[in-house]
């Protein structure tokens, strides 16, 4: 007789954003892609999201499955629905989420002053679900993502047993969700939680710190970043805590949604292609130049950037390297938004070098796909990068990633050094340290590789065959969930 399928493990995923419903960065892509990847590992995921206006609209006529008479200042309800291929639980709390602007900021780009309460409410709802608030469904494991969900393990821990197992994933240690100690009672945390072994962090309440201290397991989004954050240089004052929890810390690489990012069936491209037909990228190069207003110069190496325009992403270094880039005869297409000074820098560079440099300040999902499918190389000069997804998209689309040797960038790109070129395993270029001279040296190496078309084509073919999906990482997550679920019985 065939072996019976294992009973699916019940998992509640808690996050502040989820693609395609709401997105400001890579967190949304990960939260949106994991449910389908975990289904193959017999993990049944329900994803809890704040009821922002766009999420409520997507939820449609969701079924009310729970009600809160007073959730941090007003009534709220949980809606269950199926949307974007996922089983969702939406926290409909108009006093917290029904407002213009983004998930975290108002229309003027300022943090909502009640963010501590807004995301504490999300965590409180997650903890209630974890303790059995929903009839007929109780998660065996709760997986909380980043500081916005960081108080979930705290509410579960201080709420007593029995409770589900908890996993906390830090996507970026730099964003920590600090709040003043005066909010302790308002956030429904008991007095004894305000301790170095609890939520206390530099005299206040640290939501990220709470997740790191009080969850059963910690994951982060690449093995190298997991090592980096245990050092004083990269640990953001949490390195000591992370070293003390080394046995619970796991670095698991992110992946990308290979259906959403599929050059063979991408409606945003001028021409579809795959690893067997990389030459079919050429119409996309022409389409990208035309859309960005770059000069039609098929022999010029066309570089792309799809990024937040911030110092963390090394965009100031790229601005300093523009003379070297232009000196190699390269062109540059930039898509992103971020720090005002950097936006102005790219705007000015595009005005000074029409036809050679183009910048679109904002975000455009279709243009992001066209840049990946049309540029020859993608620049990712980050000072630190927990994982990064844009370089994974670049690999799949045959745009050679040029990356700083940090975090997940170091784990996902094989440098085109002499040994890697000779053995035909290279997939892109790495450089270190993250400085302007090192980036300039990488651009020179890239220009030389461009001239060696046989090596370029071989590296491009390797890149397009590189594993960038979720299969291996989903298996690692599932193993952690099952281990926790067994110990929590």
Question: Annotated binding site for ADP-alpha-D-glucose: which residue ranges?
Answer: 23
Place of tokens 């213009």: 100
- Which residues make up each annotated binding site? 23
The 3-class SS string of the chain reads: CCCCCCCCEEEEEECCCECCCECCCHHHHHHHHHHHHHHCCCEEEEEEEECCHHHHHHHCCCEEEEEECCCCCCCEEEEEEEECCEEEEEEECHHHHCCCCCCCECCCCCECCCHHHHHHHHHHHHHHHHCCCCCCCCCCEEEEECHHHCCHHHHHHHCCCCCCEEEEEECCCCCCCEEEHHHCCCCCCCHHHCCCCCCEECCEEEHHHHHHHHCCEEEECCHHHHHHCCCCCCCCCCHHHHHHCHHHEEECCCCCCCCCCCHHHCCCCCCCCCCCCHHHHHHHHHHHHHHHCCCCCCCCCEEEEECCECCCCCHHHHHHCHHHHHHCCCEEEEEECECHHHHHHHHHHHHHCCCCEEEEECCCHHHHHHHHHHCCEEEECCCCCCCCCHHHHHHHHCCEEEEECCHHHHHHCCECCHHHHHCCCCCEEEECCCCHHHHHHHHHHHHHHHHCHHHHHHHHHHHHHCCCCCHHHHHHHHHHHHHHHHHCC
Question: How far is Cα 145 from Cα 407, in angstroms, rounded to an integer?
Answer: 18
Q: How many CB atoms lie within 10 A of CB 414?
A: 19
Task: Check if the beta carbon of residue 153 is closer than 8 Å to that of residue 210.
Answer: yes
């Amino acid at each position: 007789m065939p072996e019976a399928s294992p009973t699916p493990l019940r998992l509640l995923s808690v996050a502040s954003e989820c693609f395609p419903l709401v997105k400001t960065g890579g967190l949304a892509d990960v939260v949106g892609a994991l449910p389908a990847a975990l289904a193959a590992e017999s993990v049944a995921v329900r994803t809890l999201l704040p009821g922002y206006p766009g999420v409520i609209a997507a939820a449609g006529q969701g079924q009310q499955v729970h009600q809160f008479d007073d959730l941090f200042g007003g009534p709220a309800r949980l809606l269950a629905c199926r949307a974007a291929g996922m089983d969702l639980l939406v926290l409909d709390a108009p006093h917290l989420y029904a407002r213009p602007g983004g998930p975290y900021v108002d229309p003027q780009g300022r943090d909502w002053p009640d963010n501590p309460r807004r995301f504490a409410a999300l965590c409180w709802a997650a903890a209630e679900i974890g303790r059995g608030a929903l009839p007929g469904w109780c998660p065996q494991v709760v997986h909380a993502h980043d500081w916005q969900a960081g108080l979930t393990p705290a509410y579960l821990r201080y709420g007593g047993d029995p409770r589900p197992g908890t996993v906390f994933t830090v996507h970026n240690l730099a964003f920590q969700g600090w709040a003043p100690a005066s909010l302790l009672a308002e956030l429904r945390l008991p007095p004894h939680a305000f301790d170095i072994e609890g939520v206390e962090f530099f005299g206040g309440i640290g939501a990220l710190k709470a997740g790191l201290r009080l969850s059963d397991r910690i994951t982060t989004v690449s093995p190298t970043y997991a090592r980096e954050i245990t050092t004083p240089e990269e640990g953001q004052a949490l390195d000591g805590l992370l070293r003390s929890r080394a046995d619970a810390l796991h670095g698991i690489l992110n992946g990308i949604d290979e259906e959403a990012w599929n050059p063979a069936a991408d409606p945003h491209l001028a021409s579809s292609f795959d690893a067997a037909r990389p030459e079919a990228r050429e119409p996309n190069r022409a389409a990208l130049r035309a859309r960005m207003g770059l000069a039609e110069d098929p022999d010029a190496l066309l570089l792309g950037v799809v990024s937040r325009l911030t110092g963390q992403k090394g965009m100031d270094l790229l601005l300093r390297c523009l003379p070297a880039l232009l000196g190699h005869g390269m062109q540059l297409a930039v898509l992103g938004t971020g720090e005002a000074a950097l936006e102005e820098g790219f705007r000015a560079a595009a005005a000074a070098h029409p036809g050679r440099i183009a910048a679109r300040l904002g975000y455009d999902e279709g243009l992001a796909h066209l840049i990946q499918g049309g540029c020859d190389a993608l620049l990712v000069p980050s000072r630190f990068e927990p994982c990064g997804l844009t370089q994974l998209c670049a690999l799949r689309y045959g745009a050679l990633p040029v990356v700083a040797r940090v975090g997940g960038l170091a784990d996902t790109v094989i440098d085109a050094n002499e040994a890697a070129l000779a053995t035909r395993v290279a997939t892109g270029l790495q450089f270190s340290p993250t400085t302007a001279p090192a980036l300039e040296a990488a651009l020179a190496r890239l220009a030389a590789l461009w001239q060696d078309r046989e090596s370029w084509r071989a590296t491009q073919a390797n890149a397009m065959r590189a594993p960038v999906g979720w299969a291996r990482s989903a298996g690692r997550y599932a193993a952690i969930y099952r281990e926790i679920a067994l110990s929590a019985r």
